[in-house]
Chains A and B, each alone.
Chain A
Amino acid sequence: MNEPVIDPTVYAALQETTGAEFAAELADTFLEEASGMLAELRNARSENHADRFRRAAHSLKSNSNTFGAVRLAALARDLELKGLDPDPARDTTALAALEAEYTRAAAALKDLRNG
Chain B
Amino acid sequence: MVDAAARLLIVDDNKVNRLLLSRSVEMQGHRAALAENGRIALEMLRREPYDLLLLDIEMPEMDGFAVLEQLKADPQLRDLPVIVTSSVEGLDNIVRCIGLGAEDYLPKPVNAVLLKARIGASLEKKRLRDQQKELVRRFATSEVAQDLQQSGFALGGKRVHASVMFSDIRGFTTLVEKLPPEETIELLNAYYALMFEAISSHGGVVNQMIGDGLMALFGAPLPLDDCAGSAVAAALEMVELIEQFNLERSAAQRPSIRIGIGVATGEVVAGYTGTQQRATYTCIGDTVNLAARLEAHTKVVGRGILIDESTQRSLTDGVRTEALGAVPFKGKTATAEIFAVASGRSS
Q: Which residues of A line the B interface, CB within 8 A?
A: 10, 17-18, 22, 25-26, 29-30, 33, 55, 58-59, 61-63, 65-66, 77, 80-81
Contact = CB atoms under 8 A, between A and B. Distances in A.
A84 to B, nearest CB: 16
A33 B36 CA distance: 14
B109 interface: yes
Contact of B108 (A17, A26, A62, A80): A62
Contact of B23 (A18, A62, A65): A18
A22 B108 contact: no
A66 B13 CA distance: 15
Contacts of A30: 16
B89 interface: yes
A81 B88 CA distance: 10
Contacts of B14: 33, 59, 62-63
Contacts of A22: 23
Interface of B: 13-17, 19-20, 23-24, 27, 58, 60, 87-89, 108-109, 112
A65 B86 CA distance: 12
Contact of B87 (A17, A25, A65): A65
A58 B16 CA distance: 13
Contacts of A77: 89
Given A17-B112, A58-B88, A66 B58 contact: no
A62 B17 contact: yes
A20 to B, nearest CB: 13
A62 B20 CA distance: 12
Nearest to A10: B109
Given A18-B27, A65-B87, A81-B89, A33 B15 contact: yes
B88 A66 contact: no
B58 A55 contact: yes
A58 B109 contact: no
What are the 3 A-B residue pairs with the smallest beta carbon separation, nearest first? A17-B112, A62-B87, A66-B109
Contact of A29 (B16, B108, B112): B16
Contacts of B87: 58, 61-62, 65
17 contacts: A10-B109, A17-B27, A17-B112, A18-B20, A18-B23, A26-B16, A26-B19, A29-B15, A29-B16, A55-B13, A55-B58, A58-B87, A62-B14, A62-B17, A65-B108, A77-B89, A80-B89
A25 B15 CA distance: 12
A49 to B, nearest CB: 11
Contacts of B19: 25-26, 29
Nearest to A68: B109
A2 to B, nearest CB: 23
A9 B16 CA distance: 19
A30 B108 CA distance: 15
Contacts of A17: 24, 27, 112
A65 B110 CA distance: 10
A33 B108 contact: no
A65 B193 CA distance: 62
Given A18-B27, A55-B58, 19 more contacts: A10-B109, A17-B24, A17-B112, A18-B23, A22-B23, A26-B16, A29-B15, A30-B16, A33-B14, A33-B16, A55-B60, A58-B87, A58-B88, A59-B14, A62-B109, A63-B14, A65-B108, A66-B17, A80-B89
